[in-house]
Amino acid sequence: MSKISVLIPVYNSVDFLDNCLNSVLNQTLKDIEIIIINDGSKDSSWDIINKYKNIDSRISVINNKINIGYGASLNIGLQHASAEHISIIESDDYAELNMLEILYKQAKTYNLDLVKSNFCYIKNNKKISSKNYNKKILYKTINSSMYPELFCLKPSVWSFLYNKKFLLNNQIFFNQTQGASFQDTSFQFKCIYFAKNIKVLDDILYNYRIDNPNSSVNSKNKAFKIINEFEVINNIFIDKNEEMEAYKLLFELKAYLWNYNRIDKKYKKIFLKKISDIFNTYNTDSFFKSKNISIKDKIKMYCIKKLLHNKKRFT
């Protein structure tokens, strides 16, 4: 059995796929299986996949003839994965060559359900920034009951290493509504919510590309799909304490406002009305009572619930 199954979903990634696959094949941890899920690519990605398959016996390929979407593709990959741990690497990104070795050593040493690295953004082939994590969550074995601010980590499923038994035991899979976006949102939340042992590292081990025009994150017409992700989250979420509830609401608020700030002006009013209606169905007492939620975020929540549109407050 391999130590890690690396899942690589591919859809029209011809410009970046060589870089991605080389970063996986040349990992310092060699005992891995590489599962490429070609999700109905219409460019020459398939030719590149076949080239690498003939080079390295660790590669297996699942070829979807039609595009079934990100979540469904990764669920198929999870079903085929045979290793004890799972990694996800997106086909327009690339990993540092020691990423899997570092994450695997942490996972085994501390018996972790999840271990997460830091990452940086890539634009025009240059590293432009990285995330600033709260120091109090770094390099210790924790969970969301202890540190509910874990819920507010930016959705970044590709920066984690997952214990496969943990995923299966908790029935954690991707939401796979046809044509939907942001399916990493509910997947990451469920992982953090159910995990008993999590470790967050500040090591920058993953390179996340933000200048791929085909990326779903750049699809402004899919902004309403984020609401489906929180329907999934709310179906499984039972607040174990008030701070967990407060931070779940903060995560939802931030996700909605990120979408609000990027969609076309003609959709802003209807989107704001939709999320206002959603928040008005919730009991938000824990959010407003929390000493850890900023005044600025409380004002944003108040304005949304009252449909008070103020651009400065939503940035």
Predicted local distance difference test score (pLDDT) of residue 225: 86
For the chain, list the domains and their CATH numbers: 4-218 (3.90.550.10), 238-314 (no CATH)
Predicted local distance difference test score (pLDDT) of residue 218: 44
Measured between alpha carbons, how far is 192 from 113 in angstroms, rounded to an integer? 9
Contact in structure between 37 and 86 (CB atoms under 8 Å): no
Q: What is the pLDDT of residues 77-117, one digit of tens each?
A: 999 999 999 999 999 999 999 999 999 999 999 999 999 99
Concatenated DSSP letters of 135-161:
GGGBTS-B-TTT-GGGGGSPP-GGGEE
| DSSP, res 3 | S
Q: What is the pLDDT of residues 263-279, one digit of tens each?
A: 888 899 999 999 999 99
Q: Give the predicted TM-score (pTM) of the model.
A: 0.93
Measured between alpha carbons, how far is 268 from 64 in angstroms, rounded to an integer? 36
Torsion angle of C-alpha atoms 246, 252, 255, 259, degrees rounded to 10: -130
Predicted local distance difference test score (pLDDT) of residue 104: 98
Those residues of the chain that have pLDDT short of 50 are 216-218
Predicted local distance difference test score (pLDDT) of residue 300: 96
The residue written with tokens 């109090």 in the block is: 136
| Parallel, antiparallel or unpaired: strands 59-64 and 198-209 | unpaired
